[in-house]
Amino acid sequence: MLPIHLFKFLLPFSLKLAAAEGNYKKLNLTRLNETYYAVVAYVGSDEQQINSVLIDTGSSDFWILDKSFCDSPTSESELLLNRYTNKESCEVYGSFDSDKSDTFQATDEEFFIAYGFESDSESVSGSFGADQVSIGDIHLDEVYFGLATNTSIMPPTLGLGPISWEADGKSYANFPYQMKKEGLIDVVAYSLSLGQTEGELLFGAIDHSKYNGTLLKTPILQKESGGMPVLLTRVALTNGSSSVFNETINEGYIYLDSGTPISPLPSKQFEDHFKHHGWTYDEETMNYSIECGSEGEKFILDYTLEYTISGDIVIKVPFEQMIVTVESDGKCYSSVAVTDEQSFSYSSEHGVFLAGDEVLRNAYVVYNLETQELAIAPAANNSEETEEDIEIISEDFDIPEAKDYSKFLEYWYTAPPTTTEYGPSSTSSGSVSKETRSTSEGTVSASESSRSEDIAASSVKPLSFWGLIVSLCQFFLY
């Protein structure tokens, strides 16, 4: 990389940023079990430790395990997906006893989130509460979160997505919005940089040393399923100078999701080629596997998967980073999950295309929740060895040299949200209510929620696919 002073001189744009002494917060992330990036959280006046909280740009709610979950019976589905009894899960991830916190505020609101639309087998339910939370150098006096008394999903999760994507159609200041509300940052925006063993979140700022070239600003496409999809215009798989496939996409989309360790792609590009080199497809996990060290595995390692965002930014992912070795059976698995979908079309209501952690490690992404825009560039090589170059994100997120995306505005029909009236509808001091809906009741009906018709009922990840993610993570873990 060029020296920092020369690199800055050559940048062809200005972000209209204030001095780095302004309001921003850095959060260091740890990659656990080669499957997800997490932080340690401290909740309540007595700072009860939650050992492992997944950082997820693909959801919007913060939830942790309630103490009552630890002593409850473990269902077959919970044991199958989590591989732990409820008591063991509390020992591994940590739990919260609201009776021990003097600052806890109970609410009369139930918490329910299902990560998709197809069934309710992978869901989290409990009650909403509010309390002080500390993560790294970030301390917030009042954070609204879910206390899970039933869950078939682990680990606990800190969602950083838009407020329009919150569980049950709620509208409250989630973690990044609460940071602005309490004066820790000036703009509800953050930058994400992931490495092989650790990552970094900058709330309210950008670190220019973390990327190569120029950031491209692109709008978040307002699909009815919510989330933060951006325009995907090309996907290619190359082997040196030759191309295995190179598909230009009309109105494609993809989610840049830190809560997902795998990246699904349509089967038509992979099926014949992978099988030709000896890879075997597993219908249950929807991915390919092969004996580690075989010629077919070595051949695929030379490939590069390329995603083109909004016609300009190309994120290149060495395929060797998308191979996971499972020592117990001596096999190598591709973290590309192959789906039955045959198109990336934006109009499709069935395809879900995610850029998971394996892709995000090769990208630098700035998420601006206030302007409903992302800024993306290829990640810098060895960025952890370079000097920081941090600048504060401006309120208008202005990048004068950015690509004009006016032709994409037909998909950008929802006004950016505000947080003027967000917060718990009612709170009181004391412990959380233990009355929760059963996870078998399905998604919330219109009479149970005040959500607008154009706001999703739950996360973008379909439950069948989320179940795959959980199963695959646990398979790699064990």
Question: Residue for token digits 């159609």?
Answer: 169
Active-site annotation holds for 46: no
User: What number of CA atoms fall less than 13 Å from residue 240's CA on the CB side?
Assistant: 1
Largest Cα–Cα distance of the chain, in whole Å? 65
> Alpha-carbon distance 351 to 157, whole Å?
24
What is the DSSP code (8-state) at residue 461? S
Strands 105-114 and 427-429: antiparallel
Spatial neighbors of 45 by CB under 8 A, at least 6 apart, are: 101, 102, 103, 104, 131, 132
Q: How far is it, in rounded angstroms, from Cα 424 to Cα 129?
A: 8
Nearest to 33 by CA among 155, 161, 148, 153: 155
Tally of CA atoms within 13 A in the half-sphere of 170 that contains its CB? 24
Catalytic residue among 66, 207, 257, 357: 257
CB-side neighbour CA atoms (13 Å) of 76:
0
Matching residue, tokens 């069948």:
464
Q: Residue 183, by phi and psi: left (phi above 0), alpha (psi -120 to 50) or beta? A: left
Residue 211 is encoded by which pair of tokens?
């990327």
**Rounded (5°) CA angle 221-224-228:** 40
Strand partners, 318: 304
- Which helix (H) or strand (E) covers residue 88, if one does? helix 86-93
Give the CA dihedral 421, 446, 463, 35, nearest 10 degrees.
10
Of 46, 56, 312, 340, catalytic: 56
Is there a contact between 391 and 145 (Cβ–Cβ < 8 Å)? no
User: 353, 264 in Cβ contact below 8 A?
Assistant: yes
Residues 6+ apart with CB under 8 A from 344: 232, 235, 247, 249, 252, 253, 254, 266, 351, 353
Q: What does the alpha-carbon distance between residue 381 and residue 450 come to, in Å, rounded to a whole number?
A: 46
Residue 131 known to be catalytic:
no
Dihedral in degrees, nearest 10, Cα atoms 224, 229, 230, 234: -100
Q: Which residues are catalytic?
A: 56, 257
